[in-house]
């Protein structure tokens, strides 16, 4: 039996699948991840991306933040790939209870997924740091320099920057879903960003298998019940 066959069998007998994903889920939609060889961290910047995407840098160098952000984090043309679409179908079929994602691109919802815990927020939501007014992503895309609210305040993406905490409601929802999962499918993540990666420990291994799909090795490879090395979109499309 191949790994794909085993995954197909696991999926067929599950009704509370939780998918836990990262940037690798969207590379097949054309978005660069952070840690692959062709990812953002391998490109050369005067300041490392982690620094630019930090709370301190946002307030100290707002214009430079938005230069990087518009060019490297916003992909308005991107479309969901086979991974996003398969997960949305499983939810509709009553097999999947939640998607927990570290991504900020909104592609799971674009594919039709409804129960999505966005641990790091979304580029699609933005708000004025002064008056709280909400803005769509177009407000960032259609502006130059620092995007400003009518009140004069800076429009900030609802994205969790480095040094910022995760939203408690989102975090608790993700934990509850993982605790009740009967199959935890982890894919497209290096599992190096905390506290997000730490959520996997809430999965009760007695309830079902832990499946890992990733292109490169991760620190969890040895503890997975099933490890598939490859592209998550291709693998899920073949099920």
Applying CB under 6 A, the residues found at the interface with ligand NAD are 22-24, 26-28, 31, 33-36, 39, 102-105, 120, 187-190, 192-193, 213-216, 231-233
Asked if residue 109 lies in contact with residue 116, where contact means CB atoms within 8 angstroms, the answer is yes
Residue 229 phi, psi (nearest 5): -95, 115
Binding flag, residue 149, Zn ion (CB under 5 A)? yes
Residue 130 interacts with which of ligand NAD, Zn ion, none, CB < 5 to 8 Å by class: Zn ion
Nearest distance in Å: CB 62, ligand NAD: 20
Residue 128 interacts with which of ligand NAD, Zn ion, none, CB < 5 to 8 Å by class: Zn ion
Asked if residue 184 lies in contact with residue 178, where contact means CB atoms within 8 angstroms, the answer is yes
Q: What is the dihedral of CA 31, 60, 193, 136, to 10 degrees?
A: -50
Asked if residue 201 lies in contact with residue 36, where contact means CB atoms within 8 angstroms, the answer is no
147/188 with CB nearer ligand NAD: 188
Asked if residue 119 lies in contact with residue 171, where contact means CB atoms within 8 angstroms, the answer is yes
Kindly give, in sequence order, each residue whose CB lies less than 8 Å from that of residue 130, ignoring residues fewer than 6 positions away: 149, 151, 152, 153, 154
Tell me which of 61, 84, 108, 120 is the catalytic residue.
Answer: 120
Strand pairing category for 17-21 and 155-159? unpaired
* Cis status of the peptide bond prior to 128, with omega within 30 of 0: no
120 is catalytic: yes
1/37 with CB nearer ligand NAD: 37
Residue 182 interacts with which of Zn ion, ligand NAD, none, CB < 5 to 8 Å by class: none
45/59 with CB nearer Zn ion: 59
Residue 153 interacts with which of ligand NAD, Zn ion, none, CB < 5 to 8 Å by class: Zn ion
**What residues act catalytically?**
120
Site residues (vs Zn ion, CB under 5 A) = 128, 130-131, 133, 149, 151, 153
């Amino acid at each position: 039996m191949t790994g794909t066959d085993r995954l197909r069998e696991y999926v067929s007998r599950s009704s509370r699948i939780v998918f836990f994903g990262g940037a690798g889920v969207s590379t097949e939609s054309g978005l660069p991840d952070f840690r692959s060889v062709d990812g953002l961290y391998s490109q050369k910047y005067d300041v490392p991306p982690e620094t630019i995407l930090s709370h301190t840098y946002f307030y100290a160098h707002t214009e430079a933040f938005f230069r990087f952000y518009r060019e490297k984090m916003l992909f308005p043309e991107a479309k969901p790939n086979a991974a996003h679409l398969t997960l949305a179908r499983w939810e509709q079929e009553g097999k999947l209870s939640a998607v927990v994602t570290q991504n900020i691109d909104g592609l799971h919802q674009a594919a039709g997924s409804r129960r999505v815990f966005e641990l790091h927020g979304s580029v699609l939501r933005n708000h004025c740091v002064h008056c709280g007014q909400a803005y769509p992503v177009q407000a960032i895309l259609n502006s130059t320099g620092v995007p400003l609210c009518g009140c004069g305040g800076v429009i900030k993406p609802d994205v969790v920057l480095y040094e910022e905490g995760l939203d408690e409601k989102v975090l608790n929802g993700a934990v509850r879903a993982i605790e009740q999962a009967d199959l935890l499918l982890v894919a497209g993540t290096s599992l190096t960003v905390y506290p997000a990666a730490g959520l996997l420990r809430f999965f009760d291994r007695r309830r079902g298998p832990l499946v890992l799909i990733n292109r490169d090795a991760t620190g969890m490879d040895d503890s997975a019940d099933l490890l598939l090395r490859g592209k998550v979109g291709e693998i899920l499309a073949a099920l």
